[in-house]
C-alpha cells in the first residue's frame, strides 16, 4: 500500500528534546507512530490521490523548512502517491501538467512531531486560529495541519527525489522484513532493546508508545542488551512487533470513522504505555516506569524483568542507595519512608550532613540498578554501573560532602561530579546537602544515615 516504506526521519523517535519539559505526563510521548500514521495515510490517500493540489496556505512561514523548490511550485500538481518515511507523511506530486498516473517529481513531506495533527475539511476551510499551521487545498477538500502546542515543532519540507532520500535515516520497516533481516539489524549495534526499537536509523516508525507495548507483548525487558538475545528471542520479538502493530493499525482504522480525529498515544486499551501504577492486563501487578531525560517508559516487572525494578530517577532519589530489587521491597520501602516522615529535622537528619554516606553493599550491583546518568544517556541503559564513571545517588552525595569538608580536593570532586554524576537530579541531590530538604527525602536520608551511623559505631 505504501510505495516508499522507508525509515523514520524524526530525530529521536518519541523522545522529547531535553528541556521540552512541562508536566510529568509529557514524558509519556504522544508522538504519532506507525499505526497512527498509516491510518492517516489511508484517509489522506483516499481523498487526494489523483486530485490536484491547488495551493498551500501557511499560517506561519516557520513551518516550512525548505526554500528550494519554492512552495508555489507545488501548486497545480496532481497527487501521485501518499506514503511515509518513518513517521513522516510524504505526498508525491506529479510533474506540472502531468497526470497522476506517472511518477512523482516533487514531494511534500509533513512531520507531525508530537502535537501535529490533520483535519479534513471542505475546500477552502480557514486555518484555525491558534492551532493552525497550514492548509493544503485540493480540488477535493482541504487538509489542515494543526499543532496543539506552544512549541511549534511540526514541519513541512518540499523536496525533489534527492531531497527525499536525505530525509531518510535508513531504519528498516519491520513489517516488511523477515526474521533474518530483522535479526541482522537488531544485532548490528549493541543497545538496550528499548533504545534499539526506537532508533530511526535501525527501525522505522516505532516510537516510545509502541515499543513499550511490543516489549510487554514479547515479555522482554526494555533494558536487555541486543547482543545477548538468542535467535529464539529475536523471532519472538519479531512476531510481537507484527502482532502489536497490526492489531493497533486495525483498531485505529476501525475507530477513525470519517477521518482520524483522535490521534493520541494515550489509549485505554494499551497494556503498559501511559499506565504507570495501573494493573498489568496480563498479571494484575502494577505497571512500573523508567524516567530518563525528558521521557518515560512503562513495563511490567512480573511479565518482563523477573520482578526486578529498573532504575527510575524519582524513585532513586526517594530511596537513595537502598534501591529496591523487587516490587515487595519497593512497597516495604515506601511504607518505611512514609513512617519515617515524622522525625525530619531531627538529630539524625542533621547527622546525615556530617557523615559521608557509603554506597550500601550491592548498590548498583546489577545492570538494572544503573544510575540515573547512564539511563539519561542511553534510555534506559543497562550499562554496568561503573562503566561510565556514573555515580549512584549515594556516591554523588559523598562527593558533595567531600567538597564541603576537604577544600583542597574540591576541584577534583567537582570534576568527578561533572564527569560522572552531573545529571540534573544528582546535582539537585548535591544541593540538598545544604539546602532545606523536602520532608520525604529528608526523612529517607535521615533514616538511612542514622542506620549507617549506628552501624559504624558498632
Residues in contact with Zn ion by the rule CB under 5 A: 280, 282-283, 300, 302-303
CB within 8 A of 119, min separation 6: which ones?
143, 144, 146, 259, 261
Task: Report, in Å, the least distance between residue 213 CB and Zn ion.
Answer: 13
Q: What's the min distance (Å) between Cβ of 276 and Zn ion?
A: 13
Of the pair 7, 300, the CB lying nearest Zn ion is at 300
Say how far apart CA 193 and CA 271 lie, in whole Å.
18
- HSE-up of 365 (CA within 13 Å, CB side)? 9
Q: How far is the CB of 216 from Zn ion (least distance, A)?
A: 7
Nine cell digits for residue 23: 508536566
CB 48 within 8 A of CB 54: no
- Residue 331 Cβ, how far from Zn ion at the closest point, in Å? 16
Residue with Cβ nearer Zn ion (168 or 213): 213
Question: What is the gyration radius of the CA atoms in the chain, in angstroms?
Answer: 25
- Which residue, 280 or 383, is less far from Zn ion as judged by CB? 280
Q: Least CB distance from residue 279 to Zn ion, whole Å?
A: 8
Between residues 181 and 236, which has the closer beta carbon with respect to Zn ion? 236
Question: How near is the Cβ of 251 to Zn ion at its closest, in Å?
Answer: 21
- CB distance 269 to 251 below 8 Å: yes
Closest CB to Zn ion among residues 189, 306: 306
In whole angstroms, how close is the CB of 306 to Zn ion at the nearest point? 12
Smallest gap from Cβ 214 to Zn ion, in A, equals 15
- Give the nearest distance from C-beta 232 to Zn ion in angstroms: 21
Toward Zn ion, which CB reaches closer, 122 or 284? 284
286 or 343, CB closer to Zn ion?
286
Length of the chain: 458
**Is the CA virtual torsion 323, 329, 331, 332 positive or negative?**
negative
CB-nearer residue toward Zn ion: 226 or 304: 304
| Of 82, 394, 421, 42, nearest in space to 250 by CA | 42
Identity of the residue, 34 or 300, whose beta carbon is nearer to Zn ion in the bound complex: 300
Q: Which residue, 119 or 282, is less far from Zn ion as judged by CB? A: 282
Residue environment code for 89-104, b if the CB has 16+ CB neighbours within 10 A, otherwise e: bbbbbbeeeeebeeeb
Residue nearest Zn ion (C-beta atom): 280
Specify the residue, 52 or 300, whose C-beta has the smaller distance to Zn ion: 300
Cα dist from 203 to 65, 73, 163, 170, 301, whole Å: 24, 33, 20, 8, 25
In this structure, what are the phi and psi dihedrals at residue 245, rounded to the nearest 5 degrees?
Answer: -65, -40
Q: How far is the CB of 298 from Zn ion (least distance, A)?
A: 11
Shortest distance (Å) from residue 277 CB to Zn ion: 13
Nearer to Zn ion by Cβ, of 131 and 327: the residue is 327
Question: How far apart are the C-alpha atoms of 112 and 155, rounded to whole Å?
Answer: 7
Amino acid at each position: 500500500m505504501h510505495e516508499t516504506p522507508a525509515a523514520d526521519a524524526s530525530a529521536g523517535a518519541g523522545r522529547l528534546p531535553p528541556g521540552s519539559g512541562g508536566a510529568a505526563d509529557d514524558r509519556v510521548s504522544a508522538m504519532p507512530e506507525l499505526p497512527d500514521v498509516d491510518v492517516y495515510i489511508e484517509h489522506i490517500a483516499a481523498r487526494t490521490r489523483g486530485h490536484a493540489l491547488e495551493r498551500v496556505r501557511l499560517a506561519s512561514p516557520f513551518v516550512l523548512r525548505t526554500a528550494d523548490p519554492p512552495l508555489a511550485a507545488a501548486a497545480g500538481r496532481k497527487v501521485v502517491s501518499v506514503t511515509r518515511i518513518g513517521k513522516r507523511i510524504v505526498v508525491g506530486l506529479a510533474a506540472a501538467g502531468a497526470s497522476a498516473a506517472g511518477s512523482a517529481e516533487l514531494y511534500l513531506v509533513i512531520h507531525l512531531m508530537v502535537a501535529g495533527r490533520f483535519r479534513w475539511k471542505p475546500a477552502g476551510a480557514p486555518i484555525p486560529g491558534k492551532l493552525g499551521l497550514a492548509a493544503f487545498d485540493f480540488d477535493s477538500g482541504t487538509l489542515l495541519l494543526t499543532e496543539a502546542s506552544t512549541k511549534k515543532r511540526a514541519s513541512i519540507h518540499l523536496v525533489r527525489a534527492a531531497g527525499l532520500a536525505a530525509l531518510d535515516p535508513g531504519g528498516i520497516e519491520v513489517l516488511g522484513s523477515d526474521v533474518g533481516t530483522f535479526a541482522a539489524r537488531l544485532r548490528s549495534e549493541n543497545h538496550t532493546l528499548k533504545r534499539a526499537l526506537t532508533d530511526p536509523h535501525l527501525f522505522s516508525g516505532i516510537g516510545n508508545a509502541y515499543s513499550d507495548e511490543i516489549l510487554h507483548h514479547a515479555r522482554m525487558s526494555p533494558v536487555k542488551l541486543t547482543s545477548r538475545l538468542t535467535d529464539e528471542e529475536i523471532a519472538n520479538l519479531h512476531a510481537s512487533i507484527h502482532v502489536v502493530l497490526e492489531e493497533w493499525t486495525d483498531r485505529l482504522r476501525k475507530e477513525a470513522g470519517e477521518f482520524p480525529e483522535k490521534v493520541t498515544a494515550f489509549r485505554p486499551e494499551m497494556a503498559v504505555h501511559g499506565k504507570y501504577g495501573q494493573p498489568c492486563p496480563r498479571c494484575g501487578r502494577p505497571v512500573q516506569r523508567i524516567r530518563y531525560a525528558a521521557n518515560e517508559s512503562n513495563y511490567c516487572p512480573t511479565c518482563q524483568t523477573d520482578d526486578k525494578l529498573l532504575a527510575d530517577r524519582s524513585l532513586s532519589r526517594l530511596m537513595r542507595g537502598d534501591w529496591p530489587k523487587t516490587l515487595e521491597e519497593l512497597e516495604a520501602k515506601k511504607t518505611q519512608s512514609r513512617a519515617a516522615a515524622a522525625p525530619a529535622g531531627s538529630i539524625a537528619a542533621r547527622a546525615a550532613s556530617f557523615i559521608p554516606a557509603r554506597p550500601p553493599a550491592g548498590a548498583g550491583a546489577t545492570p538494572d540498578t544503573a544510575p540515573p546518568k547512564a539511563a539519561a544517556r542511553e534510555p534506559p541503559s543497562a550499562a554496568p554501573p561503573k562503566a561510565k564513571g556514573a555515580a549512584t545517588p549515594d556516591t554523588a552525595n559523598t562527593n558533595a560532602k567531600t567538597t564541603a569538608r576537604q577544600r583542597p580536593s574540591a576541584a577534583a570532586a567537582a570534576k568527578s561530579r561533572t564527569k560522572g554524576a552531573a545529571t540534573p537530579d544528582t546535582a539537585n541531590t548535591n544541593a540538598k546537602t545544604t539546602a532545606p530538604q523536602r520532608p520525604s527525602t529528608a526523612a529517607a536520608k535521615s533514616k538511612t544515615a542514622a542506620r549507617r551511623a549506628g552501624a559504624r559505631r558498632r
